[in-house]
Structures are given as C-alpha cells and as structure tokens.
Structure 1
C-alpha cells in the first residue's frame, strides 16, 4: 500500500493544532456511540473504537467522562451519521463524514464549503468507488517482520504490514478493526500514532502548486465545520 497512511498523519497533525475543536468533535462522537448502545466500551464496539481513536489524539479524560455521563443521562439529542462525496480542484476526490442533529443544516454547510473553495458536491457513489475502507494501525517498538509473524501465528487476517517513516503500519479491512487491535495490544503495543478506520484512496493524485493551495483551503473549510467528523481524499500531500 505504500505511503497511504501519510495523508492520515498529515490530517492528524493539522487537526492537533486546534485541540478545542478536536475535543468538541470527539465529545459528540463518544456521546453518539454511547447512545446507540451501552455506555460500556467492553460491550459496545463502536464506542470502543471511538475511545481508541480519541486516545491517539490525547483527548482528556474529563472530555470522555462528560460525554459518557451525558449519554447515560436524560439528554435525548440524536445524531445522524452522514457521508457526502465531491470533487476538489483538478478533479481531486473528497469524502466527508459528518455527525449531525440537523441534516439540512449540515448538507447546506458542506455544499457551501465546496462551492466557495473551487469544489463541487457529487452524488452518492461518485467518488467512494475509488476508496477502500481500511483499519489502519501505526506504531513503533515492533518491526514489520515480527508484527506480521505474530499476527500470522495468532490467525489474525490483515492486508499488509509495512514500515513507513520509522513506524510499523498495519492495514486491514475496516471490519477487522476489532480483531486486529486486541491482537496488537496483546503483542505489547501500548502507544499508537494512529488506530482508526479510514477511507484509503486506491491511487493518489498530485496537484500543481496553485491547485494544491486551493485544495488545502477546501479541506480546511470542510474540517472547520462543526458537524464534520472526518475528511478523506486522494491527494498526495507530499509527506515523505
């Protein structure tokens, strides 16, 4: 798969710069996941996945506890999981995931962000066919060979294990997240750079300087939206 996790790394680095925004978004995700099932991560895999991802962003415990307490209370807020697809400068492809309590508002805001930043919304399926849903785990302390051997010995099915930028990277089908992570935990991994599911582009696009500048403004506008939880794309951001 090669360098595809780099775009996740770049996105994570950019979002880490605005901790208040990322903490607020995780609070909503944790609340929504807890409301859909039990507020116990041991019996609610969706909640466990969100909490695992929150840990890689160093979300404080009080943010997590506040969201869980709210889910256990009488609050009846409901959120819909939404996905939008569209195109950015030079035909770049973008998928926007959102968590919203007002579908019309969210759709309007996402459409406006595309329209004001050299992009346009597409219909469902217009770009997602060029992406694969993957579980991605990035860590150090174990090299790719010993990681692959451990997973094989424990009959854990993954797509690839590589070494990229000084980290070991494990790719698996998105539905395998809850099979792979416990095995990596048991192997001894306790500090993940990335542990999440993501839409990985089947091929990357490289943009010229002007188009890349427009593209980055579009991505920033989308990620700034309160309801948007994640943005996936196929652009090579040049991280080596």
Structure 2
C-alpha cells in the first residue's frame, strides 16, 4: 500500500480524522468557496468539492443550501485561512490549518493548547518541508463499474500518483498541481467521490514512547475540539501496540 493510504487508514484507526464538529467545518469550507468563486456550484469547482464532501459526511441538503445562502449574504462572516506549526512530545511535528473570523483569538487558543501539553508553537514555514501537499480522493469501490485496469488507466491519465484500494474504498493520491485535473477526469467519467481534499502527508514519521503518544493524542483531540481548527496533521508514527494503549 502507498504511504498516503497507510497514513489515512492509520488515522481512522486512531480517530485522527474525526473532527468534533464536522458540519461546522464543512460550513466554513463552503463560506470560503463561495467567497472565492460565487454561489453557483456549476461555475465554482471549489464549491462543488465542498458539496461532495458534505454528501460524504451525510450533511443534510438543507444545511448545505443554508450555508451557501448565508455565505452569499451581505452579512456573511469574513473568514480567513491561517496555518500554525509546532512540536509536540518526542519532537513530533504538528501542522494546524484554521479558518477564523478572529485571528487574535485563534493564535491565543493554539498557543495555549501547545503550552498545556508541553509542546512548542513554532514559526510559520519551519515545518512545511516535513509534509507533502497532496490531493486525496476517496471513492466508494462498489460504485466503480468499469474494469479495474481501465479505471486505473483513466486515473493515471488524470494525474493520479497512487491508486490504492481495500474491500470498501479506493484512495487516489495526486500531486497538489494535479488536483483539478483529476477532479475533471472523475466528472468526465460520471464518478462522484465521497470526499476530495487537499491534505498534508508526512514524508517521514517520528517514533514516540507510549506516554508521548498518549499526550500527543490528547493534544490532538484538544486541537480538533477548537471551533477555529479545520485540520490537524502530524508525523507521529503509529504502531499496533500504541493503538492498543489508547
């Protein structure tokens, strides 16, 4: 299996990708997409991606429509995207993506969480080299009707870097620059992904002790509980024994 596939599967097992307020997260993504490209999904690829992700998260259609309407109004909140970088226990790198209408509040909260778990908030840019920006597409394997070899060729033609699958899902990884190309390829084939995200995949991992692992996981959960935090990435190595210790 490819590095992105194993990382995502381990993430699910460790509950890393379970944001406490998924619908709120998607709502902010919608607000940013509408601000950047307008409220018409046919003319706004970013908004189409948000709507796909909302479906994958079982977000009710009414909620999605309200979020688009709210983001289109004169009183729409002015969100901006901010990233923070720092270290947890054992030198584990943390990369935190936020969407906020109050940067002063957000940086104070992020710093407080690092301090609480004896981590360190770093300078922006100093840890970016640890993570590769990738496009990650998740598909329901049962919905792929063409022959697998033909499907793989179509995906490679659309810019796929890695194609991995288990019994239920297909995970397709692209370089950051090929994200739009593969999105168009899937649209051409009439294949709607369960999710399509730009994520940061660590290019190396850090071994930690059981105690460090537990502390880092608690810090991760605290970040995910923060309303301003959209995504948290790190390069902590996962083992079965560490998972069993949770």
TM-score (norm 1): 0.86
Normalized against structure 2, the TM-score is what? Answer: 0.84
Q: Match for residue 86 of structure 1?
A: 86
Alignment partner for residue 152 of structure 2, among 128, 148, 152? 148
Tell me the equivalent position of 2:180: 178
Aligned to 2:206: 205
RMSD: 2.6
Aligned equivalent of 1:49: 49
Report the Cα offset of residue 113 of structure 1: 0.9
Q: Deviations over 1:36-94 (max 9, x none)?
A: 32111222222222222222222221221111111222214211110001111101111
Q: In 2, are the aligned partners of 1:15 and 1:22 still within 8 Å (CA)?
A: no
Q: Aligned residue pairs: how many?
A: 236
Report which stretch shifted further, 4-13 or 61-70: 4-13
Q: Tell me, which stretches of 5 or more residues in structure 2 are unaligned?
A: none
**What is the DSSP-based 3-state SS (H/G/I as helix, E as strand, rest coil) of the residue aligned with 2:4?**
helix
Provide closer, same or farther for how the CA distance between residues 103 and 17 of structure 1 changes in structure 2, counting only shifts above 3 A: closer
Note the alpha carbon deviations across 1:110-139, whole angstroms, 9 max, x for none.
111111113111111121111111001233
Task: Give structure 1 stretches of 5+ with no counterpart.
Answer: none
Distance in 1 between residues matched to 2:167 and 2:128, nearest whole Å: 27
CA gap 1:185/1:207 in 2 versus in 1, 3 angstroms: farther
Q: Is the 8 A contact 1:144 1:163 kept in 2?
A: no
Question: Partner of 1:123: helix, strand, or coil?
Answer: coil
Contact 2:138 2:193 in 1 (8 A): no
Secondary structure at the counterpart of residue 236 of structure 2: coil
* Segment drifting more, 194-203 vs 95-104: 194-203
Change (3 A) 1:67 1:15: farther
Structure 1 residues 77, 120: closer, same or farther in 2, change over 3 A?
Answer: same
> Is contact 1:4-1:200 (8 Å) kept?
yes
